Amino acid sequence: MSGCVLRAAGSAFSPESFLAAFPLPEANHRGNALNVVVSDRDGADLAGQVRDALAFLQLHAPAVRALLAMPGVEASLDFGLWRKDTLSQSVLFPPTLTAFAGELGLGLEVSLYVATPPRSI
């Protein structure tokens, strides 16, 4: 999986109630967890995922603020990237994203995925 997803969860969080008040596109939920597709760009396109995330946050800032104002709810933007076949791999987020996410109370995380499935023997 690649792309960027808004992930939120809380022990007393009701995604159904939240989505009734704040219908977000491409949202799904299970139990007390909510996932919203923010960007469906490839795992090699971090710059595109960041652009999409900024646009999403600008458009849906009131919903994100309401989400994070709910007691016990924690949320983050999870950027899905392809793992590089290198000794190390780093990710740099631009200040515009880190500042906006921080202002909203969102964490930023990176999930690294193998670009091609491993071969079975």
- Is 40 among the domain residues? yes
26 in a structural domain:
yes
Q: Which domain holds residue 33?
A: 3-113
Q: Is residue 121 part of a domain?
A: no
The two three-digit tokens of residue 75, written as one number: 């949320």
Q: For residue 76, tell me if it sits in a domain.
A: yes
In a domain, 118, yes or no: no
23 occurs within a structural domain: yes
Number of domains in the chain: 1
**pLDDT at residue 1, rounded to an integer:** 61
pLDDT at 33: 98
10-residue stretch averages of pLDDT, the chain, 121 residues long: 92 97 96 98 95 98 97 97 87 97 97 73 59
Answer whether residue 120 is part of any domain. no
Amino acid at the residue 117: P
Whether residue 104 lies inside any domain: the answer is yes
Q: For strand 74-82 and strand 27-30, is the pairing parallel, antiparallel, or unpaired?
A: unpaired
Give the integer Cα–Cα distance in Å for 75 and 114: 25
